[in-house]
């Protein structure tokens, strides 16, 4: 049993090592110009060893592009452990999503640049995983609406606004980093897309969660707004 666990751990670590190297090489050289040898050199392993884990360069690209969506599937639920309040769930889910995006800029940029190089079945798989994450966030928004914390809104459009504003950080990081910190950006651009919809009951609960330290905002400016309704 121990040997099986050790082997599984080694495989996981090796795959993560290869994905990291693939993201760097594809980002620097482009998918079509980068070779398996380039990726092997970046990872500090032999080309032969890479073929023990993937079948070809396209397989490496698919693993690299799946990196972000798979992290969302794993880390968002982890960020919600022990949290029951609807507003806290929504805040923590969005915060986890946006921070994964912000801390993996090369992978995000690679996704925009090279998704077209994937075979159709891999593109569809990525879309399904992305929609799964979107649905998770949508469910938390709907829970806040049912609890009279948020005003009625087009939930799918709101989720899209949250996703797009999250992706803007790595896409325009060269400029945004000159204007705000990441924490300020998340509060003023990402979370602001839904906190602006807080009803009086939601404002009160949001403020209580901030006071308890459950929501790590950079200021209490949002909860002092006077939402419609």
pLDDT value of position 222: 40
What is the model's pTM? Answer: 0.87
Distant-in-sequence, close-in-space partners of 29: CB < 8 Å, separation ≥ 6:
38
pLDDT value of position 229: 37
- Tens-digit pLDDT profile for residues 87-107: 999 999 999 999 999 999 999
Residue 96 CB neighbours (<10 A): 18
What proportion of the chain, given as a percentage, has pLDDT over 90?
A: 80
- d(CA 51, CA 67) in angstroms, rounded, equals 19
The domain locations on the chain are 1-54, 65-224
| 65-224 topology per CATH | Tetracycline Repressor; domain 2 (1.10.357)
Residue 208 CB neighbours (<10 A): 14
Q: Is the pLDDT at 39 greater than 90, yes or no? A: yes
> Can you count the helices (H) and strands (E) in the chain?
12, 0
pLDDT value of position 21: 95
CATH architecture of the domain with residue range 1-54: Orthogonal Bundle (1.10)
- Tens-digit pLDDT profile for residues 170-219: 999 999 999 999 999 999 999 999 999 999 999 999 999 999 888 876 54
Q: Is the pLDDT at 136 greater than 80, yes or no? A: yes
- Tens-digit pLDDT profile for residues 41-79: 999 999 999 999 888 999 999 999 998 888 999 999 999
């Amino acid at each position: 049993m121990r040997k099986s666990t050790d082997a599984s751990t080694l495989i996981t670590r090796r795959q993560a090592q290869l994905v990291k190297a693939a993201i760097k090489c594809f980002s620097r050289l482009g998918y079509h110009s980068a070779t398996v040898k380039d990726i092997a050199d970046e990872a500090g392993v032999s080309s032969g060893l890479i073929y023990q884990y993937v079948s070809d360069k396209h397989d490496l690209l698919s693993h690299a592009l799946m990196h972000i969506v798979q992290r969302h599937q794993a880390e968002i639920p982890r960020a919600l452990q022990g949290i029951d309040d609807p507003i806290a769930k929504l805040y923590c889910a969005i915060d986890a999503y946006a921070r994964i995006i912000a801390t993996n800029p090369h992978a995000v940029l690679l996704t925009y640049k090279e998704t077209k190089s994937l075979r159709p079945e891999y593109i569809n798989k990525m879309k399904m995983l992305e929609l799964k994450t979107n649905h998770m966030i949508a469910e938390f928004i709907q829970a806040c609406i049912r609890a009279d914390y948020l005003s009625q809104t087009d939930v799918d459009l709101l989720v899209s606004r949250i996703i797009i504003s999250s992706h803007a950080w790595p896409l325009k990081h060269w400029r945004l980093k000159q204007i705000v910190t990441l924490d300020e950006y998340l509060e003023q651009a990402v979370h602001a897309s839904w906190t602006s919809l807080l009803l009086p009951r939601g404002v009160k609960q949001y403020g209580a969660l901030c006071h308890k330290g459950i929501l790590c905002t950079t200021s209490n400016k949002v909860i002092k707004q006077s939402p419609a309704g």
